[in-house]
Amino acid sequence: MDFTNSMKIFSGSASQRLTEGICRHLGIPQGRALIGRFSDGEIHLQIQEHIRGHDVFIINSTSPPVNDNLMELLIFCDAARRASAERITVVIPYYGYGRQDRKDKPRVPITAKLVANLITAAGADRVLTVDLHCGQIQGFFDILVDHLSADIVFCEHLRKIGIQEKLMVVSPDMGSVGRARSFASRLGVPIAIVDKRRPKENESEVMNLIGSVEGRHALILDDMIDTGGTLVKAAKAVMEHGALSVRACATHPVFSGPALDLLESSVLEEVLVSDSIPLDERAAAMPRIKTLTLAQLVGEAIRRIHKDESVSSLFTA
């Protein structure tokens, strides 16, 4: 099977720049598609090249505006299916609704599962995603799911800048300890844990710090930064416990509500994020926010899926 002629990569509105980087890495042109809006706001989409019998990859984060980007992804899948694509893989760098993954209150939906059902019904044969809020979401799909971790990208960057000495990885809550331990193991450094309680949604109160950060450079690791409240309070607590400096590392820069104001006035020295979600102008201009691209990681996963090679071996890179 010819690599360049049998695979097509398309981008939705939310992942244009990332898709460009992926196509550069793979050395293939980006697929042509027209995406627009009718006068009433409905999405209009047309794939503008032949894809019959092709291995099609559709890349689009379901980031804010979540509903628009999700609907666009579903429409793209339907268009590819009706154009007789051989296989459709949806690449979702950021999986919106991922935090609604369980029924934790009476009469609430499990929206992460609903989204999985919609993607499958739209015609997707396979899903490739990055750092789901909860790994068990993979089980919501009745199709194949490849779940990548951006930790490889972040660890490689940290090694390059030589920050490993006196570094300590900090988990912002008990639920993130597994990832923090794995991340710290890659770098050969210890971990600490912030114990907090959350009195209401999007609010958190730091209660205690498990582990000594005194005399160390702290790196708070999380899957996303939403309003920023949890991160900023954790950073303050870490500095109060004697850390030399504190950085943050999060795959998905959601940055909703007061996030940028909070980060700007925080004790954080640097905030490392990926390009799973494109930054707005203000966030992109903030000197303490540094974006690392997922293009090579996702591009390599796409190549391996297309060639029926191992994707799991990427996790040990």
Give the catalytic positions in this structure: 196
Residue 202 backbone dihedrals phi, psi, to 5 degrees: 65, 20
Q: Tell me, letter by letter, the H, E, C secondary structure of 252-302.
A: EECCCCCHHHHHHCCCCCEEEEECCCCCCHHHHHCCCEEEECCHHHHHHHH
Residue whose tokens read 């090579």: 296
If you write DSSP's letter for every residue of the chain in order, what string do you get?
--HHHHEEEEE-GGGHHHHHHHHHHHT-PPPPEEEEE-TTS-EEEEE-S--TT-EEEEE----SSHHHHHHHHHHHHHHHHHTT-SEEEEEESS-TTTT--S--STT---HHHHHHHHHHHHT-SEEEEE--SSGGGGGG-SSEEEEE-THHHHHHHHHHTT--TTEEEEESSGGGHHHHHHHHHHHT--EEEEEEE-SSTT--EEEEEES--TTSEEEEEEEEESSSHHHHHHHHHHHHTT-SEEEEEEEEE---TTHHHHHHTSS-SEEEEETTS---HHHHH-TTEEEE--HHHHHHHHHHHHTT--SGGGGG-
Residue 294 backbone dihedrals phi, psi, to 5 degrees: -95, 5
- CB distance 59 to 18 below 8 Å: yes
